[in-house]
Every structure is written in C-alpha cells, then in structure tokens.
Amino acid sequence: MKKNSNLKLQKSKAHSYRFTVGRVLQVAVALVFLVFTARFLYIGISKTVNGQNLSQRTKQLYKRNEVIKASRGTIYDCNGLAIAEDSHLYTVYAILDKSSINYKNKPEYVVNKSETAEKLAKVLPLSADKIYQYLNPKYKAFQVQFGTGGSGLTLKQKKQIEAMKLPGIKFVATPSRLYPNGNFASHIVGLAQPEYNKKTNSEMLVGTMGLEAYFNDTLTGKDGYRISTVDASENQSPNQNQVYKPAENGNNLYLTLNSQLQSYLEARLTEVQKAYDPTSITAVVEDMKTGKILAASQRPTFNPQTKKGLTKSYRNILVQDTYEPGSVFKVLSFAAAVNSGNYNPNEYYRSGSVSIGGSTIHDWLTSGWGTIPFSQAFERSSNTGFVKLEQKMGSKTWAKYLKRFHIGEKTGITLPGEQPGFISFKTPVDQAVTAFGQGVNVNVMQMMQAYSSLGNNGQMVKPQLVDKVTDFNGKTIKGYQIKKVGTPIYSAKTKRVVLANMRKVLNKQSGTGSAYKMGNADIGVKTGTAQIANPKGGGYLKGDSNYIFSVVGVYPTKNPRYCIYLTIKQPHLAGTTAEKILASIFKPMMSRIITMAKSNNSHCP
C-alpha cells in the first residue's frame, strides 16, 4: 500500500515538472516570436537595418556605376600623320575558385588546367608546363596571373585567346600609348605611361617626358560616367532613367615636325652611331623664317613603343645638356664685330698665336698662316683673329651682343628641363675665348634660336615644336604664331657679310668646310671643334677624339630659310675625319631640303 502511494507521488512530481517546463518553453517561444515580430514591424516601418536604409541599399545593389574613360589626345606631325595615339594592352589572368558560377549556372573558373595550358602556350611567350605551374599554385588562390609573359598583350593576342573560349580566362585592359614610328624624335615627342589614379581607382596615361609631359594637361581628358538600373543578371532595365555625363577627350597636338625629313634623319644618325660609336649626336633642321623645327633627334635614343634603350638615354640632350660650342659660335661673334663697325676685311694680323692676360691662345693650326687679312679669319676659323676682333669690340660691346643673342638664357621651348647654360666673363682671357665658343655653355636650341637671325635680317625667332592645338573633333583651340625674340641684333648688310663668309668656308684652298660642298648648291656653313672640359677638373680632355665636332649650314644664302645644325661627341674616327662623318649626315639631309624647297612637296604649311 505504501509502495503504491510513493509511486503516485513520483508520477505527480514528474507531471508537475513537465508542465512547468512546457509553460517556460511556451513563454520563451512567445517572447522570441514577439521580438521577431517587433523587429520585422520596425524594419517594415522604418526600412532601416543597423543604421542602413534598406531602400537606398536596394537601389545601390541594382545600380551600376560605369566610368566612361576619356581618350588622351593624339600627337600628329605637321601633315596630320599620327605619331602618338591611344591604345590598350591587356593582362590575362585565370580564375581557379570553383564557386565561380555565372547566372546561367556555367563555370567561370578553369575547368581543364592541362588543356588551358596547352592552348595558352600557343599565344603567350610561355611553355605549357610553365603555364600549368601558374595554374597550380602552392597555396589556395581565387585567381592567378602569368607574370610578365601574361602582360602587355596586344588586342590581336587577346582576340586569339578569346577565340579559344577557355572557361575562367579573363583580361584586364591597361591604357597604353602607341608610337607607330618607333625611333622617331623620341626625346621630343616623349613618353606617356600608365599610372594608378587614387581618385578613379584606375590607371590613366601620364606624360613622363618630352611633349607628352610638357602638354600633359592639354592631352589629358576628363572621364565621364553613367549610372543606370540593372537587374540581377546585370542587364540594364528598360524604360529606366539613367544619369549620364559624357567623357571629355583630351586635345590634340599638331607638331612642326615633318615625318619624311624626320625618318630620313633618324636613319642617317643610326648609320653613324653604328659605324663610329660616338658618345652622343645631336641634329636639328629648322625653318629660320618661322622658328619651326622640321626635324630633330639625338643619339643615344630609345624606342618609345618597346622602351628599348630608355634606361640609357632618358635625358633630352637637345635642351637638358649644355656644352662649349666651339667655332660654330663664331657666326655670332663675327656678326657682332661686323655690325659694331670693328671688322675691316683688308686689315692684316699675325696668325698662329696671341698672348693675353699671361696666357697664350693658339690657332687650330698652331703654326698659323703667317700675316693674313681679317677677311680670311672666318673661313680659316682662326682663333687668334677672333680674339683680336673681340679686343677691337671691347668686352662691354661684346657682352651687349651676347645679351642680345640671349646666351645664358632659356629659349622657353616647349620641352621640360631646359638648362640656360652660362658665360664665364670675368677676366680678359675669359672674354677673349668666348669669341670662338670657349668659356660659354649653351644648349642646342639656344644655338638654333641665335642662327634664326640669319633668316630674318638679324631678328631672332623662338624655336617651335607645336604648330597648333585642336580639340578631339579637330577644331583649332590655339595656334602658335611666329614669336620674335628681342629686337634685331644686326642689320641686313651685316647678314650679307656673314653669309658671304659662310660660303667661303666651303673653299677647298682656305676653308675648313670643303667636305660639305655640294656642287653649285647655294649653301653656307661654319665648322666647329670644341674641347671637352675634364670632368675631374684641370682643363680639357686630351686625344684626337675628345672633342665635340660640329657644323651649321644654311640654305639658300641669297635668302636663308633652312638651317641644319649637327654635333657629334667623341666619335671613334677609325681612320677618317670628323668632317667626313658629319658630312655623311649633312649632305643627304641638305639635299632632301633643297629638293623639298624647290618642289614644295611634303612641306608643312
């Protein structure tokens, strides 16, 4: 009886416990339900979760923000031939993560690595084994690239790979610049390369040298954008408003360079560079009437398309390097002596050497030519004759002419990094040697500016590389007009005397420039042989090749329009002469110019 009573008591307690637990669970479920219901009601009314507006978030999820890339302006030659224009290069990559499935439930990852490697090897400069290694990284990766072998691909290579329809193979486009002519006024045109832009989170082309750098803001466009509504498959929804701002493409540059002359000049310089391995060569062809540079180049140079040679020739030595010009500077000092009334062609002087301020200055022919008239000083390139002319002028008068020629001042040509040079003019010896181009440092374009005075009766004009700027549709925004520099330095009469003496330089009996004679062509020249300062100090370098050899020539001397100025530094003469080396560039270039001038073909407006 007692046993049955205990059993009933135990059953009663168990029932009571189950009832209590059940009630607690009911209350808990009710509370959870109430919390979720309240939360859902709050979200439904406020449309906000964790401080984020759901309506706005939904719009964001179904909004596509598309950047419309602006094109960089094109650089043309004077006849409208493109010499630098926009392009794209591509980097190929492979998605390996198997969760990459598109909305059609098709794989967006590499399915067959062996087959993919074999096919890619037909286009990429990589073996199938190497590609297979890239596709099997040591550590788990969402995607992989293929090193340098998978970057810098052309559009043709990209299309070849796309035609293979390989799952998981994708491309990233990189803005690039196309330089179709290769070695073509490379330091003048310059270089534009892709750089990362934090504002747009993308790469854009930026000019890093030459005209590409100087006119970077002009050439660079402004990106546009499009904001549109899309569905879950990223397709644009019909009949939906979109916000659209078109891109503003960069402006174009039309240069003064003539592609035919430029290409011909490049070929001549390459021949000389290979044959005589000089430290450097510079060459400029100018229309002296306008200051337009028709062709200009240097060695060493580089190919802007392949970047070959870039690390060894980054400097634009036409404006960034200064040097002592030597006897080609006598064109300036002779004009100054004639114009100031200090040149008497019939007066005689003793050549060979002259003492001044305790120093002795020699002619290049140290024994001289005896007692000769000043009328022979220019054609013989007599240093002693020019020292005496400087003394006749006096340092104040000569300094005034140097100032009027703007020596020691930048030309302001549209190239970055121009150096002004300098003049050593403290002592009588300093002052005297400047008359034959020593103790004065110039850049090539300063000399071109000074020589332009021969084409304009003593009036210098600024050297120009850009003819006009147009917008992307070809409308002219800015035209570059002839810019006179200062006032006329000398008279038309002085010009005629200088040109007559430049013609005499071609005389085989007494002139230093007979190597440049071209039959009966109406040209005049002046040669130069400048010593090179010892970089370690203590005077000048010794040796037959340790000079900067140069020549300046004009055509026609009756009414000068075209000027060629060449320099070559430390060539390996190999049994020949510097004059013959320079003549191998000068004569064919001048011949082209004469033909062009007579026919008026392929000449820029």
CATH of the domain at 434: 3.40.710.10
Do residues 287 and 392 share a domain?
yes
Do residues 270 and 232 share a domain?
no
At 68 the pLDDT is 81
**Tens of pLDDT along 510-554?**
999 999 999 999 999 999 999 998 888 878 999 889 999 999 999
Do residues 369 and 512 share a domain?
yes
Residue 482 resides in a domain: yes
327 an active-site residue?
Answer: yes
Q: How far apart are the C-alpha atoms of 284 and 451, rounded to whole Å?
A: 12
Do residues 457 and 391 share a domain?
yes
The CB density around residue 513, as the number of other CB atoms within 10 Å, is: 27
Residue 232 has pLDDT above 70, yes or no: no
Q: How far apart are the C-alpha atoms of 129 and 146, rounded to whole Å?
A: 12
At 105 the pLDDT is 85
pTM of the full predicted structure?
0.84
Query: In this structure, what are the phi and psi dihedrals at residue 523, rounded to the nearest 5 degrees?
Result: -120, 160
Specify the 3-state DSSP secondary structure of 540: strand
Which tokens go with 187?
A: 């330091």
**Tens of pLDDT along 372-415?**
999 999 999 999 999 999 999 999 999 999 999 999 999 999 99
Do residues 186 and 290 share a domain?
no
**Tens of pLDDT along 142-193?**
999 999 999 989 889 999 999 999 999 999 888 899 999 999 999 999 999 9
Do residues 266 and 189 share a domain?
no
Query: If you average pLDDT over residues 37-61, what whole number do you get?
Result: 55
Asked whether the bond before 325 is cis by omega within 30 degrees of 0, the reply is no
Give the residue numbers spanning the domain of 336: 259-599
**Spatial contact of 388 and 368, defined as CB atoms under 8 Å apart:** no
Do residues 188 and 275 share a domain?
no
Residue 296 resides in a domain: yes
Residue 562 resides in a domain: yes
- What confidence category does residue 60 fall into, taking pLDDT thresholds of 50, 70 and 90? very low
Residue 2 resides in a domain: no
Could you say which of 176, 186, 280, 327 is catalytic? 327
The pairing of strands 348-350 and 547-555 is unpaired
- Its sign, for the CA torsion 280, 402, 391, 554, is positive
Strands in 96-217 per DSSP E: 143-145, 169-178, 191-197, 202-209
* Mean model confidence pLDDT for the chain: 90
Which segment of 194-203, 364-373, 503-512 scores lowest on mean pLDDT? Answer: 194-203
Q: How far apart are the C-alpha atoms of 251 and 273, rounded to whole Å?
A: 36
At 40 the pLDDT is 59
Domain end (from 237, 255, 273): 255
Which tokens go with 346?
A: 């019939």
Residue 6 resides in a domain: no
**Spatial contact of 545 and 572, defined as CB atoms under 8 Å apart:** yes
Residue 10 resides in a domain: no
Do residues 468 and 345 share a domain?
yes
**Tens of pLDDT along 320-366?**
999 999 999 999 999 999 999 999 999 999 999 999 988 999 999 99
Q: What total of structural domains would you count in the chain?
A: 3
Specify the higher pLDDT residue, 386 or 60.
386
Which tokens go with 302?
A: 């580089």
Do residues 478 and 544 share a domain?
yes
Residue 8 resides in a domain: no
Cα angle for residues 299, 439, 516 (degrees, 5° grid): 50
Do residues 52 and 70 share a domain?
no
Do residues 398 and 532 share a domain?
yes
The CB density around residue 504, as the number of other CB atoms within 10 Å, is: 18
The residues, ordered by sequence, that sit 6+ positions from 223 with a Cβ below 8 Å of its Cβ are: 67, 68, 69, 70, 200, 247
Domain end (from 234, 255, 276): 255
**Tens of pLDDT along 116-140?**
999 999 999 999 999 999 999 999 9
For residue 54, the one-letter residue type is: L
**Spatial contact of 552 and 448, defined as CB atoms under 8 Å apart:** no
Residue 605 resides in a domain: no
Domain end (from 255, 272, 303): 255
The residues, ordered by sequence, that sit 6+ positions from 289 with a Cβ below 8 Å of its Cβ are: 455, 456, 461, 482, 561
Which tokens go with 177?
A: 């610049």
CATH of the domain at 218: 3.90.1310.10
Q: How far apart are the C-alpha atoms of 32 and 36, rounded to whole Å?
A: 6
Query: If you average pLDDT over residues 593-600, what whole number do you get?
Result: 90
Do residues 36 and 128 share a domain?
no
